[in-house]
């Protein structure tokens, strides 16, 4: 099964978020604009519209993390060591913190991409 990648080599880089990150997610999306008219005889037609992206990260709470809602910085999400990365400017849109008496304090953060999200592969 060549090609599969273990998540253990991933990482995230974002100003103010430096410790305890254990997972991240990225959603690349594109709008679809309907162009259907009478000439299409009942078959819908579309064209591509604007593109965008959002991201999430989950981490163990660490007091050295200073990221706050509204921060804007370059977000870099690494898939395989340093050979495959997604990067672009992102704005923090939310932070959720959870705590239980029998576990670690954890947090999740949501990002809104602004501009292009670029995939770079050096392999």
Residues with Cβ within 8 Å of 77's Cβ and at least 6 positions away in sequence, in order, are 10, 11, 12, 24, 26, 55, 85, 86, 87
Domains and CATH numbers, the chain: 7-121 (2.40.30)
Question: What local confidence, expressed as pLDDT, does residue 81 receive?
Answer: 67
The pTM (predicted TM-score) of the whole model is 0.84
Average pLDDT over residues 6-27: 88
pLDDT at 96 over 90: yes
Alpha-carbon Rg for the chain in angstroms: 19
How far are the Cα atoms of 5, 37, 77, 111, 123 from residue 57, in angstroms, in the given order? 19, 43, 10, 8, 25
């Amino acid at each position: 099964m060549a090609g599969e990648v273990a998540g253990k080599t991933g990482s995230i880089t974002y100003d103010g978020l430096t410790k305890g990150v254990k997972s991240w997610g990225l959603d690349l999306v594109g709008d679809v604009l309907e162009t259907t008219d009478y000439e299409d005889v009942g078959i819908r037609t579309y064209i591509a519209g604007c593109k965008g992206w959002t991201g999430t990260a989950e981490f163990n709470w660490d007091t050295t993390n200073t990221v706050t809602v509204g921060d804007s910085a370059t977000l870099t999400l690494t898939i395989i060591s340093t050979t495959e990365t997604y990067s672009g400017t992102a704005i923090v849109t939310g932070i959720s913190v959870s705590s239980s008496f029998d576990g670690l304090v954890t947090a999740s953060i949501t990002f809104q991409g602004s501009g292009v999200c670029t995939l770079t592969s050096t392999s």
